[in-house]
Structure 1
Amino acid sequence: MNGGGSDQVLAHTEGRTGRVVLNRPGAINALTHAMVRRLDAVLTVWESDPAVEVVVLTGAGERGLCAGGDIRAIHGDARDGDGSATAAFWRDEYRLNARIARYPKPYVAVMDGIVMGGGVGVSAHGGVRIVTERSRVAMPETGIGFVPDVGGTHLLALAPGELGTHLALTGAAVGAADALLCGLADHHVPSASLGPLLDDLAGAPVPAALARHTQAPLPGVLARRRPWIDACYAADTVEEIVRRLRAHGDPEAGAAAETLLTRSPTALKVTLAALRRARRLGSLEPVLDQEYRVSLAALAMPDLIEGIRAQVIDKDRTPRWSPSTLEEVAEADVERFFRPLGPRELGLAPGTDTAPRNGARTG
């Protein structure tokens, strides 16, 4: 988790832009702790450098910006260690997510290809978020016995209707049009135009550069599915959501129900509670504080180790969840994920200015 970071996060300047490249293409640029620290250090330097007017984040290779955190390292730490390395990683990662959201210069995230989990955290909080026809954006945590983090519950709680609830519980990946609809991105640029766009950003203001390259994306699928999504996911419990999906009659709703029944029952119930609470919390920092509590609780539970084992380590795709059914997960089991941490709290919310500054999104 603490390998070298300078070769895994490349930084240089081109004209008025500071270019950051996540550089672990063999792992679809999955984030290590060292990468998080390196990115934070680069942002510190560029924040006070008048020559850098815009920060641009991209990923190396052809597969995506970032597939998430290094969950193999998390698995090893949870199984064989005391969890302290993962807790330190998440502390720095979530603080970086908050920093990106309030960065005082335009932060342009190129969300080309796969953008999942921690990849969403370093991109979708930025001021200018660009997707392409290749983008696949997702928070797939319930499939590994975990809960959307890196500010994901904040972003998904803000999505129209119950679209965010659907994405959070199922872990479904969305393309460009649906990422725009859900508020996870701002602009669609064809992948073939990314090179010219980055060249333009080096010498032109962000709105002018974007105006030359943005295009309407191909239609997505969520807008036409929204009637059953809003009706079914508005329920107060996961059990009722599943019941409504099965009873609705639309085959896609039925398929969503079957997907939910493959996910960790505990993770589903905690995710629903986290989303509802995130709506009430409102701003990003208190939601990140909440996510830190939830993440540390998940680290001590069997489903995270088992989910990563089944999906990533052994790849048998047959996790044995504990408890194995929704009905076995009591309200008290969910509540313990939200218990205060005392001196271990992330502590972003008190006295924090959460309003976007001049790095605010260019819509």
Structure 2
Amino acid sequence: MTGSARSDAHDTAAPVLLRTRGRAAYLTLNRPRALNALNHVMVRRIDEALTAWEHDPAVETVVLTGAGERGLCAGGDIRAVHDDARDGDGTASAAFWRDEYHLNARIARYPKPYVAVMDGIVMGGGVGVSAHGDVRVVTERSRIAMPETGIGFVPDVGGTHLLGRAPGELGTHLALTGARIGAGDALLCGLADHYIPSEALGSFVADLAARPVTDAVARHEQPAPQGLLAGRRDWIDACYAAGTVEEIVERLSAHGDPEAKEAAETLLAKSPTSLKVTLAAIRRARRLGSLERVLDQEYRVSCAALSSPDLVEGIRAQIIDKDRAPRWSPASLAEVGDTAVERFFAPLGDRELGLGQGGGVPDPR
């Protein structure tokens, strides 16, 4: 693998391009027409490259970028998940998530600096391969989100770990609404570390071949534009601290700020089941602590979602037919009881992801 990890100069159609230059190794997600959406082949290729570069003394830094002008990565290949959940038995999706979540954990613990250039759209699985890195760079073009509740799913790829650690209830707000944030808010929420204007990215990425990461960042970093969330902390923290999704919606609706009311309307358009499972997942993630234990939990939730009608319906409405009119089942928050939520957290026995100590996930309650 070492040879193929060093260069893809003659294979420009590969879904992940690999090359080395100087002290750096470069991973480029290369499905620009699909906004670099991750599939199983890509996940395996990234993992194999990281193995080769981890043991290559010439490689001091790994750099992740996305091909095309639109963004780093729009997420996982959810069309494949849709087809597997609708027509298959879910084993292909479960196998993809198993390898993807292992990759997310590996990136977080990688022994060499891992630099993620989070330019443009970075969503779902794109967050998983970038926001767990050591050095996470955003630009004025960055649009970062975990939009899973809109497709009948739940934030994964370590997203509940990342958002659970955001200040106050900002992460809860982002997880439930799926709102897109820019550079300033990504820095505030702990999803990014440095702001570099997009026009300087070429020079920055090239500098990493010749300079230590800290020197390259220092040469190009600038103060980030002001975000929006800091000015909304009062109503976000007050409303999302409620005990249930129903109460969160009530508080948002009753709050005087028009943006709070808009957030309530946004929530009411999402999958009621996904909202309730997401709230539980975020709060359990805070108590679980380590990324590995949270990924174990997310794997349970993701596998359970394969048998939920909302996942197929949500992807159909948003991605396949694009009618933007999902018919959720159950259709209201009141119809989603505690038992329905608990089903998503049920142990998987010998199918557990097993990243956490002991191979299982202790009940955090």
The TM-score normalised by the length of structure 1 is 0.95
**Equivalent in the alignment of 1:57:** 64
Q: Is 1:151 paired with 2:158?
A: yes
Q: Which amino acid aligns with 1:229?
A: I
What are the residue-to-residue correspondences of 1:210-249 with 2, within 5 Å? 210-249=217-256
Give 1:176 deviation, angstroms: 0.1
Supply the distance in 1 between the matched residues of 2:357 and 2:259 (Cα, whole angstroms). 43
Q: Which amino acid aligns with 2:270?
A: R
Give 1:6 deviation, angstroms: 7.8
User: Paired residue for 2:78, among 58, 71, 77?
Assistant: 71
**Equivalent in the alignment of 2:50:** 43
Q: Which amino acid aligns with 2:14?
A: D
Supply the distance in 1 between the matched residues of 2:65 and 2:216 (Cα, whole angstroms). 17
Supply the distance in 2 between the matched residues of 1:38 and 1:351 (Cα, whole angstroms). 28
What are the residue-to-residue correspondences of 1:167-206 with 2, within 5 Å? 167-206=174-213
User: Paired residue for 2:102, among 95, 107, 122?
Assistant: 95
**CA deviation digits over 1:272-297, x for unaligned, max 9?**
00000000001100000000000000
Supply the distance in 2 between the matched residues of 1:312 and 1:185 (Cα, whole angstroms). 28
Give 1:199 deviation, angstroms: 1.4
Over aligned residue pairs, what C-alpha RMSD do you find?
A: 1.2
From the superposition, tell whether residues 268 and 128 of structure 1 become closer, same or farther in structure 2 (CA, over 3 Å): same
**CA deviation digits over 1:3-43, x for unaligned, max 9?**
x9980011000110000000000000000000000000000
Give 1:217 deviation, angstroms: 1.6
Report runs of 4+ in structure 1 exceeding 2 Å deviation. Answer: none
Supply the distance in 2 between the matched residues of 1:76 and 1:215 (Cα, whole angstroms). 44
Q: Is 1:30 paired with 2:18?
A: no
| Percent of aligned positions that are identical | 76
What are the residue-to-residue correspondences of 1:294-313 with 2, within 5 Å? 294-313=301-320
- Report if the CA contact (8 A) 2:162-2:191 is conserved: yes
Q: Is 1:125 paired with 2:132?
A: yes
From the superposition, tell whether residues 18 and 126 of structure 1 become closer, same or farther in structure 2 (CA, over 3 Å): same
Supply the distance in 2 between the matched residues of 1:341 and 1:98 (Cα, whole angstroms). 20
Q: Which amino acid aligns with 2:80?
A: A
Supply the distance in 2 between the matched residues of 1:10 and 1:197 (Cα, whole angstroms). 19
What are the residue-to-residue correspondences of 1:276-291 with 2, within 5 Å? 276-291=283-298
Q: Is 1:104 paired with 2:111?
A: yes
- Report if the CA contact (8 A) 1:5-1:34 is conserved: no
SS at match of 1:212: helix
What are the residue-to-residue correspondences of 1:255-274 with 2, within 5 Å? 255-274=262-281
From the superposition, tell whether residues 341 and 6 of structure 1 become closer, same or farther in structure 2 (CA, over 3 Å): farther
- Report if the CA contact (8 A) 2:13-2:30 is conserved: no
Unaligned runs of 5+ in 1: 353-363
Q: Which amino acid aligns with 1:315?
A: K
**CA deviation digits over 1:244-302, x for unaligned, max 9?**
00111100000000000000000000000000000000110000000000000001110
Q: Is 1:160 paired with 2:167?
A: yes
From the superposition, tell whether residues 136 and 348 of structure 1 become closer, same or farther in structure 2 (CA, over 3 Å): same
**Equivalent in the alignment of 2:335:** 328
SS at match of 1:149: coil
Supply the distance in 1 between the matched residues of 2:224 and 2:34 (Cα, whole angstroms). 28
SS at match of 2:357: coil
Q: Which amino acid aligns with 2:267?
A: L
Supply the distance in 2 between the matched residues of 1:5 and 1:74 (Cα, whole angstroms). 26
Give 1:351 deviation, angstroms: 5.7
From the superposition, tell whether residues 275 and 226 of structure 1 become closer, same or farther in structure 2 (CA, over 3 Å): same
Supply the distance in 1 between the matched residues of 2:16 and 2:289 (Cα, whole angstroms). 32
Q: Is 1:8 paired with 2:11?
A: no
Q: Which amino acid aligns with 2:304?
A: A
- Report if the CA contact (8 A) 1:23-1:29 is conserved: yes
Q: Select the structure with the greater relative contact order (CA < 8 A; seq sep ≥ 6).
A: 1
**Equivalent in the alignment of 1:251:** 258
The TM-score normalised by the length of structure 2 is 0.95
Give 1:218 deviation, angstroms: 1.3
Supply the distance in 2 between the matched residues of 1:79 and 1:335 (Cα, whole angstroms). 23
User: Paired residue for 1:142, among 134, 146, 149?
Assistant: 149
Give 1:200 deviation, angstroms: 1.1
Q: Which amino acid aligns with 1:23?
A: N
Supply the distance in 2 between the matched residues of 1:139 and 1:295 (Cα, whole angstroms). 14
Unaligned runs of 5+ in 2: 1-10, 360-365
Supply the distance in 2 between the matched residues of 1:144 and 1:14 (Cα, whole angstroms). 40
Supply the distance in 1 between the matched residues of 2:96 and 2:104 (Cα, whole angstroms). 12
